């Protein structure tokens, strides 16, 4: 039987424990998960794409059946190129739903073969976002327990105060 491959796409600026939780959950139902980091020249991320990839790899050290790559262009094209059958997205709250539904239906229109699978993170991470993490870190607040240790260290390097 062929391998079931899922693509877990995102900006990951930076990866949080909520993302890690979703990736680990998706490994329970897929044989292989490719974490795909969007390179978007229009956005000005805190961490460059290569650094975001390094941080994801460091955060997932020891986790098997996971690959981390960057992608550009349409997500559905990348999914097909990688031989994936599904897109994994985390749903934290009802507020995520509208944007996620829009994206899932648009991706379905672009490619009938690719399904979007939504997963709920552990409730302890249901309020977490990369944007919030960056804001807390920039003002010297503690993000311990909310992001993997390599990310905590990287934020400290950027803001010198976490």
Compute the least distance from the CB of residue 58 to ligand PNS, in Å.
Answer: 19
- Pick 63 or 74: Cβ nearer ligand PNS: 74
Q: How far is CA 134 from CA 22, 63, 78, 141, in A?
A: 20, 25, 28, 10
Residues 6+ apart with CB under 8 A from 140: 159, 161, 162
Q: For residue 38, give the nearest of 72, 67, 13 by alpha carbon.
A: 72
Please confirm, yes or no, whether 43 is among the known catalytic residues: yes
Q: How far apart are CA 114 and CA 46, in angstroms?
A: 31
Helix H or strand E encompassing 127: none
Please confirm, yes or no, whether 80 is among the known catalytic residues: no
Catalytic residue among 32, 52, 92, 134: 92
Catalytic residue among 19, 52, 89, 134: 19
- Pick 73 or 141: Cβ nearer ligand PNS: 73
Please confirm, yes or no, whether 19 is among the known catalytic residues: yes
Residues in contact with ligand PNS by CB under 6 A are 9-11, 38, 74-75, 103, 106-107
- Pick 30 or 71: Cβ nearer ligand PNS: 71
Please confirm, yes or no, whether 130 is among the known catalytic residues: yes
Place of tokens 């607040």: 141
Catalytic residue among 49, 52, 130, 134: 130
Catalytic sites, residue numbers:
19, 43, 92, 130
């Amino acid at each position: 039987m062929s391998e079931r491959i899922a693509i877990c796409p995102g900006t990951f600026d930076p990866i949080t424990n909520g993302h890690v939780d979703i990736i680990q959950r998706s490994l329970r139902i897929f044989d292989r998960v490719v974490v795909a980091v969007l390179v978007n020249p229009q956005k000005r991320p805190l961490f460059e794409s290569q650094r975001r990839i390094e941080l994801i790899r460091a955060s997932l050290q020891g986790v098997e059946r996971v690959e981390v790559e960057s992608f550009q262009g349409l997500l559905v094209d990348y999914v097909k190129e990688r031989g994936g059958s599904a897109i994994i997205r985390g749903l934290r709250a009802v507020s995520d739903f509208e944007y996620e539904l829009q994206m899932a239906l648009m991706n379905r229109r672009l490619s009938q073969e690719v399904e979007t699978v939504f997963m709920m993170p552990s409730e302890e991470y249901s309020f977490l976002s990369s944007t919030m993490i960056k804001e807390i870190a920039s003002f010297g607040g503690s993000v311990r327990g909310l992001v993997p240790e390599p990310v905590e260290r990287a934020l400290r390097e950027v803001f010198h105060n976490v």
